[in-house]
Amino acid sequence: TKERLVANLANFAYDPYNYTFLRQLNVLELFLDCITEPNEKLVEFGIGGVCNSCADSQNAAIITQCGGIPLVVQCLSSPVKNTKF
């Protein structure tokens, strides 16, 4: 399912070895897209992927350029417990 795929990608985003691959495959953009989904699990896994990958400056720049900051702020005010930091 899509949830399982995004959850696995979010786990891969934790390892710096995978950062280049995530950028090449536009996975960072996928994480941001998931944050706007009505499915709470996709939002949770999307924000998890963003959090795991933004430690890298190149990833952080892509996330910022793609409008990620307002999306992350939106998660902070979400009533869903698992999407808050």
Domain count, the chain: 1
Which amino acid, residue 78? S
Range of the domain at 42: 2-83
Distance (Å, rounded) from C-alpha 78 to C-alpha 85? 11
pTM of the model: 0.90
pLDDT of residue 80: 65
With a CB cutoff of 8 Å and minimum separation 6, the contacts of 43 are 34, 35, 37, 75, 78, 80, 83
pLDDT of residue 21: 97
Digit-coded pLDDT (tens) for 8-63: 999 999 999 999 999 999 999 999 999 999 999 999 999 999 999 999 999 999 99
